[in-house]
Amino acid sequence: MNLPRLYHRLRLTARSLHSSANGQQVEKVAVAVDPDVPSQVSVFRTSENDPTCHTELHAGQYYTLPPAHMRTLFPHGLPPRFQMQMKTFNEACVMVRQPALELITCLRKADYSEPALRYVLYGEKGCGKTLSLCHVLHFCSTQGWLVLHIPDAHLWVKNCRELLPSSSRPGRFDQPIQALNWLKNFKTTNEHFLSKIKTTQRYVWTKRESTEEGRPLGELVDQGVSRVKSSSDVVGALLRELRLQAGGAAEGAFRLAVAVDGVNALWGKTTLKKEDKSEVLPEELTLIHNLRKMLRNDWCGGAILTTLSQTGSLFKPRSAYLPMELLGEEGFDNMDPFVPIPVSNYSDKEFESCYLYYLDRNWLQHPHSRTEDGKKELIFLSSRNPSILERLCAFL
Amino acid sequence: MAACRAVRAVLVKCGKSSWTSVPRPPQTDRQLLSRQICVSSAAWRKNLAAAGPEKFSEEYIKKQVEEFNIGKRHLANIMGEDPETFTQEDIDRSIAYLFPSGLFEKRARPVMKHPDLLFPKQTAVQWGEDGRPFHYMFYTGKQAYYSLMHDTFGKVLALEKYQDSMRNKGLFTKDTRQMSLTGSRWLLKEELEELLVENISDHDYTRFLQLMERLLSMPYCAMEEEFVQRFRRQLEVQSSKQEIPAVQHDENGVAFSQAEGRRKTAKASIKLRDCGTGSITINGKSYLLYFPVLQDREQLMFPLHFVDMLGRFNVEASVEGGGHCAQAGALRLAVSRALLSFVSAGEMESMRQAGLLTPDPRVKERKKPGQAGARKKFTWKKR
């Protein structure tokens, strides 16, 4: 089987020429150097691990996330099945796809003195919206942005064990555990920003505790981590600070990327109940309320990247995937205007590349799956849907 | 008068009711009256049970045949059709029209058929006026069977004699014309019983087959070909009965075919287009959304994968009734049937052997009274 050897040769030639040229030339030279490469051998991996340099040429190819980046960027952001795959394959490979490339080009060209643009990734279940979002976040963090990533907004509107009435405002409810977890992850992601940004206002938590003006953000976060009861309020304060200070003209200016996965949770229903068994509305939760304020485009110097998700959503039918259906009237009005980016199933080329990746990783063990017939069967049974294909190959 | 009698005869034959009300000659009546012995109903009932299946006399059957023919002509006149060309199908149709029945059991509905089909075949009386039987094997009890075995063995002996004579002449050869036995089978036991108008045991049937095999194993058995062929039936070629849906062309010139399929309570009807993409739409939704379970999608894939035409066709399907497995099964049958018009005869045969074209006869079994379900019984209490 010549495939591994050819692939190895391609990689070596690509690496040796990489230092001098940019991505475009590498690909061309790599192809020119190996004229005897049969047309069936398609390159499914690229050695370009920097999302800044990803272009159309890399569409359909897998790039590896460096492990160091992964631990800081995505302590909680990746979907659980992808994490299992990472553990099995010992590497984190993400496919470069059209929607993510589109989003990256938009982000590059956007004017950051204007109010923040809202981007909504939508598509059928299992198409790759969350992973595209992660790809874009990797790009943002390599560009030096501050990444505010809420991995799944649905986790904040359901299955909450402790629902405390808010200490600061009556009629609102706090979720200390969720807020605490999120603060810890935020701290891991944005370590280096925490000392640079200063608070602009004095926050009083209890009779004895307060955070003065001009203190570093790190102190605010620590306050939330240590005092669990006020963690939700700390989150609110944090969001407010970031909103005010993003994109400022000062030398400590940073760009803010707000990434929310499952944004339709903010305007849907919750499954949480008050003590008198009446339903809790999303507005009555502190975390949700503050997040909604964040998603309003009244601040400058950043971008709002969101994904719709039916998987964790409550009371929505399985076939719903359009923004109108999942966000509802209220959500749509709030999010309007936004840039919709559709994510679809794999194209032929992308499917080919995914199939070759699984072959390369020895994931497809059954001998029949390596034949053309087996490939056709896989195409049919999964209908080129990424998540269904992944689940299908899991037991082959 | 005759019409009434005919219609009455029709009514009589409903469900083969045992109404042998033949008007007896008046003398027997008087004799019975003078010798009337009071018999209790219990004894009378026992007698009937011991009599066995009813015996009909030959004149009776002949009369029934005449009545049937007259009745057929009358029925044709009633329906306004030509009596000369009135076939059995026309009779069935007319009876179903004149006597509509809501009974579920088809055999309980009114039927008008030729008496030979309705009355069981009976042997004529086997002995003459003096009580001596006609056939020399009457006292074996199964005269037709034993005479058949005797004749067959006679033929075996004749063949051996012929063989010896050929050997003596020096013309003995082993490679004589052999009979072609492919595509035919021996008579079944029921068919043999029907032929001989006698009951045979399993043992007898086995011995008969062994004797026929012995006859066939000898050289020169081709001389007895017509005798043997009387006891063989042709096997029908199954796939010649398959209906192939016609290939139509729509506006763009794309070839498509339509077919239907059923399984349990689910009914599916599909349109198979020879487009090029492999997309499947069911009731307007993608098949991935409609069948989230892998097993159902595999069922859908089976016919296309079997003929290696996975990415070639577009399927538009509408299905209703049943559960998800039943719907998947109905769709599979419909797709196989629609594929017949795009596939060669040899592939059709292999599809038939794979079981793709057979409708699944299993339906939900009826719940019986006195039980909790179809098979489940109520809790058994010892006391």
Q: Given an 8 Å threshold on Cβ–Cβ distance, is A388 in contact with B288?
A: yes
CA atoms within a 13 Å half-sphere pointing along the CA-CB vector of A209: 13
B186: part of which helix (H) or strand (E)?
strand B184-186
- Measured between beta carbons, which residues in chain A are less than 8 angstroms from residue B287? 383
Q: Domain map of chain B by residue range?
A: 59-117, 167-234, 248-354
ipTM: 0.78
Least confident of A119-123, B16-20, B63-67, B298-302: B16-20
Chain A contact present for B285, CB below 8 A: yes
Query: Residue A331's pLDDT is what?
Result: 87
From CA B114, how far away is CA B336, in angstroms rounded?
41
Task: Give residue A12's pLDDT band: very low, low, confident or very high (50, 70, 90).
Answer: very low
What integer is the mean pLDDT of B338-354?
89
> Distance (Å, rounded) from C-alpha A171 to C-alpha A166?
7
For all residues of chain B together, what is the average pLDDT? 85
Q: 3-state DSSP call for residue A169?
A: coil
**Mean pLDDT of the B263-276 span:** 91
CB B70 within 8 A of CB B8: no
Identify each DSSP E strand in chain A by its residue range: 62-65, 92-95, 117-123, 146-150, 164-165, 173-174, 203-204, 210-211, 256-261, 302-307, 339-343
- Tokens read off for A343: 């994510």
Both tokens of residue A217? 């953000």
Give yes or no for A322 touching B (CB within 8 A).
no
CB contact under 8 A, A379 and B311: yes
Q: Which two tokens stand for residue A180?
A: 């605490």
What torsion do the CA atoms of B219, B224, B227, B231 make, to the nearest 10 degrees?
A: 20
Q: Is A383 close to B305, i.e. CB distance below 8 A?
A: no
* Among the listed residues A149, A138, A369, A342, the one whose alpha carbon sits nearest the alpha carbon of residue A239: A149
In chain A the first and final C-alpha atoms are separated, in Å, by 20
Q: What angle do CA A351, A96, A89 make, to 5 degrees?
A: 75
- Convert the pLDDT of each residue in A349-358 to its tens digit: 889 899 999 8
A319/B289 touch (CB, cutoff 8 Å), yes or no = yes
**pLDDT of residue A154 exceeding 50:** yes
CB A67 within 8 A of CB A356: no
CATH class of this structure's domain B248-354: alpha beta
CB B19 within 8 A of CB B12: yes
Q: What is the pLDDT of residues A88-139, one digit of tens each?
A: 888 888 888 888 898 889 888 888 888 888 899 999 888 889 999 988 988 8
Distance between CA atoms of residues B330 and B322, nearest Å: 9
B273 alpha-carbon distance from chain centroid = 38
Q: How many CB pairs under 8 A join A and B?
A: 34
Check if A379 contacts B (Cβ < 8 Å). Answer: yes
* Beta-strand runs (E) in A170-296: 173-174, 203-204, 210-211, 256-261
Q: How far apart are CA B159 and CA A220, in angstroms?
A: 114
Length of chain B measured in residues? 383
User: Residue ranges per domain, chain A?
Assistant: 99-341, 348-394
Contact B310 A376 (CB under 8 A): yes
Q: How confident is the model at residue B49 (pLDDT cuts 50, 70, 90)?
A: low
